[in-house]
């Protein structure tokens, strides 16, 4: 019997697990994929928004502003890449300019730090914005984060503090007897409290238990990802003025020095369809050119899509319609920015159902990743002397050594797939997109996990990379 079962290990499930790990509780997280953070949390703009645009009084507004304030300290504790680079929402015509004043008022009402900058100041702050820019709304507390690292770090720290994680296990339904019974494709478990963080599939989990049915609709966002390059480029997150479709298109740096251009915003039917479409991406770039004159599209290394879990309220759905069953779904943007505050809110809801007693041995600090790339030559030499595998570079684009890969495999919530390593260490993230290092990584994963190379997958399930031996047939 568990005190708490959390369904889904996206950023919300992981944050809630880590927040509740402070207490003397027996917690299980069940995730259908082969790794944490593989759903919407893996494909988004990665912006810790300041909270200036959700409508005042919504959960989005409340939790975004609070979450934004919590991130810097949490990222320090967990050694997660985060930078408060500030955002600029740029007007280029009279209508948009009027909208900026509305956003300023909204931001202030929400408690976000915002001010208007005129054209001269804007061009000084960010020389890459379009010369057609009129003014901008500046939000200095907006930040950029690495969402993959974040989910892994949260879960690793939760597990360091006693939380259990079941990967590759799908929750089929939740029933209420004396306690809750969570039925999966591998077994069944009982729990006093169930927290539904199943992202796009949160409606299925909720509808399996509650009479009041809900529906989540996928709203796709497509992006271009640009490589890192040496010339100076945008340093702030640059937004076009938002519309009813969403926050608008952005051009933004990422924590790893790449650049994002996107996203689009289109309702679709298929909750698993993360394909990209040339026509849509062409429109995205057209929109991005309205705020930045020069987008170096020659540096595009890949394109990708993420799916927002839209609910008709257009707000987060965080409720407890049946005592002990908590929904945390419909988490569209700014769900990532809000996640720390969402977790605190959920912890206070849980406190009404079961007694929360703090653990004396709770440790909020996660052991940092090694990150050889950022060490001085002196430090590198010392490490290589102690362990020669730090001198064996496996991913040349991102400069990742075998020693670091082995460390990332053997931690709590360690990598078990090629994509799992990519998320943790950026192996295969560079220009060659794994062309050179994938075979080496496959070998290391097989050796360290004591598996046959044919059983190592790209990202779990049937995503096999090696199908059969070809030599000698
Ligand atoms: C295009 C786009 C851009 C965005 N940009 C931003 C941004 O810049 N800033 C921001 O704050 N927010 C942004 N968001 C929103 C943010 O990404 C989401 O709010 C957040 O990632 C949602 O996290 P989650 O944990 O609720 O869901 P998910 O990350 O989807 O996690 C749900 C998990 O549940 C698992 N699951 C589902 N069903 C089951 C089951 N039956 N059994 C077991 N496991 C199950 C899934 O596999 C998944 O891992 C963006 C979203 C999109 C799509």
**Residues recorded for the chain:** 473
How much is the average pLDDT of 321-349?
98
How much is the average pLDDT of 13-18?
98
CA distance readout (Å), 334 to 152, 215, 350, 374: 20, 19, 23, 31
What is the structure's pLDDT at 103? 96
What is the structure's pLDDT at 228? 86
Please give the distance, rounded to the nearest whole angstrom, from the Cα atom of residue 97 to the centre of ligand 1: 32
What distance in Å separates the CA atoms of residue 156 and residue 77, rounded to the nearest whole number?
12
Please give the distance, rounded to the nearest whole angstrom, from the Cα atom of residue 151 to the centre of ligand 1: 11
CATH architecture of 372-455: Orthogonal Bundle (1.10)
- Phi and psi for 427 in degrees, rounded to 5? -65, 125
What is the structure's pLDDT at 434? 81
The strand pair at 300-310 and 143-145 is best described as unpaired
- CATH number, span 1-80+145-216+311-368: 3.50.50.60
Kindly report the pTM of this predicted structure. Answer: 0.95
Q: For helices 335-350 and 11-20, give the axis angle rounded to 10 degrees.
A: 40
- What residues are paired with 89 via a beta bridge? 137, 239
Helix (H, G, I), strand (E, B) or coil at 455: helix
Active site residue 49: yes
- Return the ligand 1 atom nearest residue 64 CA: 11
Assigned superfamily of 87-140+217-307: D-Amino Acid Oxidase, subunit A, domain 2 (3.30.9.10)
Please give the distance, rounded to the nearest whole angstrom, from the Cα atom of residue 10 to the centre of ligand 1: 6
What is the structure's pLDDT at 472? 64
The pLDDT tens digits for 166-185 are: 999 999 999 999 999 999 99
Domain boundaries, the chain: 1-80+145-216+311-368, 87-140+217-307, 372-455
Q: Which of 15, 37, 40, 52 to mutate to test the pocket of ligand 1 (most atoms within 8 A of CB)?
A: 40
């Amino acid at each position: 019997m568990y005190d708490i079962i959390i369904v889904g290990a996206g950023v919300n499930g992981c944050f809630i697990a880590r927040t509740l790990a402070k207490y003397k509780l027996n917690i299980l997280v069940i995730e259908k994929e082969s790794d944490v953070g593989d759903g919407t949390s893996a494909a988004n703009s990665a912006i810790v928004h300041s909270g200036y645009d959700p409508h005042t009084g919504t959960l989005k507004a409340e939790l975004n502003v609070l979450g934004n304030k919590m991130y810097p300290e949490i990222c320090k504790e967990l050694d997660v890449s985060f930078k408060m680079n500030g955002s600029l929402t740029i007007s280029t015509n009279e209508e948009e300019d009027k909208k900026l004043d509305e956003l300023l008022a909204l931001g202030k009402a929400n408690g976000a730090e915002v001010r208007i900058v005129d054209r001269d100041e804007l061009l000084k702050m960010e020389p890459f914005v379009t010369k057609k820019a009129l003014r901008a709304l500046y939000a200095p507390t907006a930040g950029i984060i690495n969402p993959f690292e974040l989910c892994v770090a949260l879960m690793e720290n939760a597990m360091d503090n006693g939380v259990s994680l079941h990967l590759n296990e799908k929750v089929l339904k939740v029933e209420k007897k004396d306690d809750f019974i969570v039925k999966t494709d591998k077994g069944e478990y009982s729990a006093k409290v169930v927290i539904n963080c199943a992202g796009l599939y949160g409606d299925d989990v909720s509808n399996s238990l509650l009479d009041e049915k809900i529906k989540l609709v996928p709203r796709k966002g497509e992006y271009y990802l640009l490589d890192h390059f040496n010339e100076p480029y945008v340093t702030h997150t640059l937004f076009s003025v938002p519309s009813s479709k969403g926050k608008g298109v952005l051009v933004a740096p990422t924590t790893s020095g790449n650049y994002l251009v996107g996203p689009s915003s289109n309702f679709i039917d298929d909750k698993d369809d993360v394909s990209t479409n040339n026509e849509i991406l062409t429109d995205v770039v057209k929109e991005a050119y309205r705020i930045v004159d020069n987008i170096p599209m020659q540096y595009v290394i890949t394109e990708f899509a993420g799916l927002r879990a839209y609910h008709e309220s257009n707000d987060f759905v965080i409720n407890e319609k049946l005592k002990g069953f908590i929904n945390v779904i419909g988490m569209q943007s700014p769900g990532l920015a809000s996640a720390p505050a969402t977790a605190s809110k959920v912890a206070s809801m849980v406190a009404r159902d079961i007694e929360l007693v703090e653990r004396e041995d709770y440790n909020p600090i996660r052991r940092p990743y090694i990150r050889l790339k950022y060490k001085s030559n002196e430090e590198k030499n010392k490490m290589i002397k102690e362990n020669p595998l730090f001198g064996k570079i496996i991913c040349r684009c991102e400069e990742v050594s075998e020693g670091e890969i082995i460390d990332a495999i053997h931690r709590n919530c360690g990598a078990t797939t090629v994509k799992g390593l990519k998320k943790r260490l950026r192996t295969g993230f560079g220009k060659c997109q794994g062309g050179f290092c994938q075979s080496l990584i496959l070998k290391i994963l097989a050796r360290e996990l004591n598996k046959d190379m044919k059983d190592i997958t790209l990202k779990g399930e049937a995503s096999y990379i090696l199908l059969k031996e070809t030599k000698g047939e």
